[in-house]
Structure 1
Amino acid sequence: MTGSQGTPRTVARRTVVAAVGGAGLTVAMTACGGSDDPGQTVSDKPGGEGATGGTGGGTGGGAEIAKTTDIPEGGGKVVGEVVVTQPQAGLFKAFSSKCTHQGCAVKDVSAGVINCPCHNSQFDATDGSVKAGPATTPLPPAQIVVEGDSIRLA
């Protein structure tokens, strides 16, 4: 690669991998989409009834990842590639469990904050926004369906 003045420019492998990984996540999330509203990733109805994210009719196509009773109010749980939160009673949200700083897996959710142990980035459990860096990008939302006491990937 060359810079704007014809001089060689070095790009760190980490930068290339992060860019390619981000593009892949965007493609994967677009392919799994179904809703034009990025805020419609989980059930917004108290008690978790009904489906969102364009799946319609309260049925999700994915495997069950947790029971609603597994997700504490004001907290959450990391389940594989997603972190599921319950910011208020009956409202469940889900986000990628990979920190947007360097891809470490977030470890826990407490007091409304999703915590990454690698460099102490913190994310809001309601919307995935950055509360404390070094991360500067929010956690991407994940599609889930809440049906009765079951939480499933959409």
Structure 2
Amino acid sequence: MTSASLQPASGPARRTVMAAAGAAGLAAALTACGSGDDSSDTVDTGAGQAAGGTLAKTSDIPEGGGRIFKNQGVVVTQPAAGTFKAFSSKCTHQGCAVGSVADGVIVCPCHNSHFSAEDGSVKKGPATKPLPAAKITVSGEDIKLA
């Protein structure tokens, strides 16, 4: 036997293994911060409602709940009968799109932050900052982005 035959078989370099593990972790993190479940009936993906255009009818926004307008980046809520509020639909924790609005709570599906449908304040973290208010106008039955 020669001394070369006594050497262990070489595997991938440590640097290669570490790079692959890091790439896999990054892919998992990016997947977790995706846009959420697009099958929700609270999500509107329609285009064409520019600032000043009609976003929705007041009857489209359930009392105690709301509706997410993905393309416009806003969530419109009706915390009490006839009172309409709007907030950014971008979670203040890591920028994911909020995914649902019900029972007075706006929920981000990425890390389960909860926000008040009345004022956008944080009800449950990990988010620490409220959702920024968005400007809307209500004229008759029409809700428009201001």
Q: How big is the shift at 1:152? A: 0.2
Question: What corresponds to 2:67 in structure 1?
Answer: 77
- Structure 2 counterpart SS, 1:85: strand
**Deviation by residue 1:20-57 (Cα, 9 ceiling, x = unmatched):** xxxxxxxxxxxxxxxxxxxxxxxxxxxxxxxxxxxxxx
SS at match of 1:120: coil
Secondary structure at the counterpart of residue 74 of structure 1: coil
Report whether the alignment pairs 1:62 with 2:49: no
Larger relative contact order (Cα-Cα within 8 Å, sequence gap ≥ 6): 1
Instruction: State the Cα distance separating 1:142 from its structure 2 match.
Output: 0.1
TM-score for the superposition, normalised by structure 2: 0.63
Output the amino acid matched with 1:69: S
Determine the C-alpha separation between the residues in 1 that align with 2:90 and 2:74.
Answer: 8
Question: Structure 1 stretches (4+) deviating beyond 4 angstroms?
Answer: none
- Whether 2:92 is the aligned partner of 1:112: answer no
Indicate yes or no: 2:145 matched with 1:153.
yes
Q: How does 1:82-97 map to 2 (within 5 A)?
A: 82-97=74-89
Aligned residue pair count: 94
Could you tell me the percent identity over the aligned residues?
A: 69
**By how many angstroms is 1:108 displaced?**
1.0
- Aligned pair 1:132/2:139, yes or no? no
The match for 1:121 is 113
Matches of 2:69 and 2:110 in 1, distance apart? 18
Q: TM-score, normalised by structure 1?
A: 0.60
Partners of 2:126 and 2:56 in 1: how far apart? 30
Which residue number corresponds to residue 25 of structure 1? none
